[in-house]
């Protein structure tokens, strides 16, 4: 991620519609596949500036790791989680250390040179029956300036993710999408943006309060669907895998 993006994201993570909506979707998946659990040992693999740490602390004790000191510096301003600077392909934890690992758009990053090695490490630190909750960008043909700004290496297909999970000894128990209802508008924005010369910046932007609330409500509606079913397409893959 570009360095100037870290501060920008840190300032927006608590209130921007995207982050609010993704927390709701993650909550729906956790409560669907691990209901009534509040004592997990949780690893947030690639915690960035720490926007998910407080949320995850609702479900147990949390450790956050990130490769970049800039990100860890912002994450240290959060409360409740332990932090370490580490690579996703060389996790500094013993085998079977965690009940839950979360990974949100990290394995697709340039910093992860070998994504299969990253999935293998996640599998190694998960206990038997442990769960991986993940989110990754979908559809390589959607690759745009946003991806360059946040250092996305690859946008995945469900088939590719499923195979990499299985190679690591993780069984996919749910694969779906998020940001489905806003997909047409996002598609148009990204395709047009690729045609207009401009600085590489992520799509994360401050928005007027009313628009922010409408977009957050849209993702909250998607979360209600994810709690029981599956969205057919979207800008992001969301899923759950179990260590067998």
Q: What is the pLDDT of residue 67?
A: 94
Q: Is 195 helix (H, G, I), strand (E, B) or coil?
A: helix
Could you give the CA distance from residue 149 to residue 134 in angstroms, rounded to a whole number?
A: 21
What's the rounded mean pLDDT across residues 188-209? Answer: 69
What digits encode the pLDDT tens for the residues 123-135?
A: 999 999 999 999 9
Domain coordinates in residue numbering, the chain: 3-243
What kind and span of H or E run contains 183? helix 183-195
- C-beta separation of 131 from 100 below 8 A: yes
Instruction: Spell out the SS3 assignment of 202-226.
Output: CCCCCCCHHHHHHHHHHHHHHHHHH
CB atoms < 10 A from the CB of 233, how many?
11
Alpha carbons within 13 angstroms on the beta-carbon side of residue 219 total: 24
Which pairing describes strands 81-85 and 60-66: parallel, antiparallel, or unpaired?
Answer: parallel
What digits encode the pLDDT tens for the residues 19-72?
A: 999 999 999 999 999 998 889 999 999 999 999 999 999 999 999 999 999 999
Q: What band does 233 get if pLDDT is binned at 50, 70 and 90?
A: very high
Strand locations in the chain (E): 40-45, 60-66, 81-85, 98-104, 126-137, 170-178, 236-243
Q: What is the pLDDT of residue 197?
A: 56
- C-beta separation of 158 from 112 below 8 A: no
214 or 3: which carries more pLDDT confidence? 214
Q: State whether CATH 1.10.260.40 applies to domain 3-243.
A: no
Could you give the CA distance from residue 226 to residue 178 in angstroms, rounded to a whole number?
A: 8
The most confident of the ranges 73-82, 146-155, 161-170 is 161-170
- What percent of the chain is modeled with pLDDT above 90? 76
pLDDT higher than 70, residue 101: yes
Average pLDDT of the residues of the chain: 92
Could you give the CA distance from residue 191 to residue 75 in angstroms, rounded to a whole number?
A: 33
Alpha carbons within 13 angstroms on the beta-carbon side of residue 205 total: 8
CA nearest neighbour of 75 among 92, 57, 100, 99? 57
Q: Which residues contact 119 (CB under 8 A, 6 or more apart)?
A: 107, 164, 165, 167, 168, 170
Q: Is 194 helix (H, G, I), strand (E, B) or coil?
A: helix
Q: Kindly state the tokens that stand for 184.
A: 């047409």
Q: What is the pLDDT of residue 42?
A: 98
């Amino acid at each position: 991620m570009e360095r100037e993006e870290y501060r920008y994201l840190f300032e927006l993570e608590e209130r921007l519609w995207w982050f609010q909506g993704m927390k709701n979707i993650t909550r729906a998946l956790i409560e669907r596949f691990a209901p009534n659990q509040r004592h997990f040992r949780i690893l947030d693999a690639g915690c960035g500036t720490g926007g998910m740490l407080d949320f995850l602390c609702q479900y147990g004790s949390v450790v956050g790791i990130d490769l970049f000191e800039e990100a860890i510096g912002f994450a240290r301003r959060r409360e409740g989680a332990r932090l370490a600077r580490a690579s996703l392909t060389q996790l500094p934890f013993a085998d079977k250390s965690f009940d839950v690992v979360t990974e949100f758009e990290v394995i697709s990053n340039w910093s992860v040179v070998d994504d299969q090695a990253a999935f293998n490490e996640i599998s190694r630190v998960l206990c038997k029956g442990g769960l991986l909750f993940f989110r990754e960008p979908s559809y390589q043909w959607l690759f745009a300036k946003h991806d360059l700004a946040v250092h996305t290496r690859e946008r995945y297909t469900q088939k590719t993710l499923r195979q990499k999970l299985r190679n690591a000894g993780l069984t996919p128990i749910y694969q779906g999408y998020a940001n489905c209802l806003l997909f047409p508008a996002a598609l148009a924005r990204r395709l047009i943006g690729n045609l207009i010369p401009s600085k590489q910046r992520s799509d994360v932007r401050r928005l007027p309060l009313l628009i922010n609330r409408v977009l957050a409500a849209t993702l909250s509606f998607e979360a209600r669907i994810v709690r029981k079913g599956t969205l057919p397409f979207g800008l992001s893959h969301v899923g759950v895998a179990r260590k067998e």
